[in-house]
Amino acid sequence: SQELEQSPQSLIVQEGKNLTINCTSSKTLYGLYWYKQKYGEGLIFLMMLQKGGEEKSHEKITAKLDEKKQQSSLHITASQPSHAGIYLCGAFLSGNTPLVFGKGTRLSVIA
Amino acid sequence: NAGVMQNPRHLVRRRGQEARLRCSPMKGHSHVYWYRQLPEEGLKFMVYLQKENIIDESGMPKERFSAEFPKEGPSILRIQQVVRGDSAAYFCASSVSRPSNTGELFFGEGSRLTVL
């Protein structure tokens, strides 16, 4: 089974709308990373969260790690076509395991 | 400061040939990770290396795949006797320290292997 579940799998929003992507684990998350990937390209680092309750923002993107450290959400405000792509969450599920990833959420922003 | 550099960006091989993928980490980074991404799949961890050492290879197939990170030069992921199922994007990432110790993890643009 997938260790990190992302929802939704895909999302189509109208330009200017807000949206939220979730990343859920059945285990405690030790370090949660959000990346963006455009088709055929590499991963762009967005944010890293470590502490329960932590929240970080970059431009119109905000990410939170819940208090119990088992879920993270990525929120985009006033979406733009430049936000389109695949959003991937990655996490350490213990101190000694490698970074694992969800399957990604494919975001399309239409005018 | 250049990012993580991977080459080649695209590689085409026939079944049975060898594929060599290279990764130069960011300057000052001594931890390298290789991931594989299949179409419509997420990133799957393959191997974690530090200079001259394999730290974790739990994601590497037992046969045909090997990785190294020599004292000098890039990290290399080597796939011998490639099969069609090896067609994928292979990503390399690097970090200053083990990322779980607050280090950020940066990825390269990937190497896309196509096996005919």
Digit-coded pLDDT (tens) for B82-114: 999 999 999 999 988 776 555 678 899 999 999
Above 60 in pLDDT, residue A75?
yes
> Cα distance from A95 to chain B (closest Cα, Å)?
6
Q: Is A45's Cβ below 8 Å from some Cβ in B?
A: yes
Task: Report yes or no: A30 and A96 within 8 Å, Cβ to Cβ.
Answer: no
Task: Fill in the DSSP letter of residue A65.
Answer: E
Cβ contact, residue pair B42, A50, below 8 Å: no
For residues A76 and A67, the model is more confident at A76
For residues A89 and B100, the model is more confident at A89
For residues A29 and A83, the model is more confident at A83
User: What average pLDDT is seen over chain B?
Assistant: 91
Return d(Cα A99, Cα B92) in angstroms, integer.
13
For residues A94 and A1, the model is more confident at A94
Q: Is B1's Cβ below 8 Å from some Cβ in A?
A: no
pLDDT score, position A98: 83
Residue B100 makes CB contacts below 8 A (sequence gap 6+) with: A30, A31, A92, A95
Cβ contact, residue pair B105, A30, below 8 Å: no
Q: Is B100's Cβ below 8 Å from some Cβ in A?
A: yes
pLDDT score, position B67: 97
From chain A, pick out residues whose CB is under 8 angstroms from the CB of B94.
none
Above 80 in pLDDT, residue A13?
yes
Task: Fill in the DSSP letter of residue B14.
Answer: -
Return d(Cα A106, Cα A76) in angstroms, integer.
14
Above 80 in pLDDT, residue B40?
no
Reported as a pLDDT band with limits 50, 70 and 90, residue B39 is: confident
For A:74-103, CB contacts with B below 8 A are 88, 90, 92, 95, 98-103
Above 70 in pLDDT, residue B17?
yes
From chain B, pick out residues whose CB is under 8 angstroms from the CB of A3.
none
Above 90 in pLDDT, residue B80?
yes
pLDDT score, position A95: 66
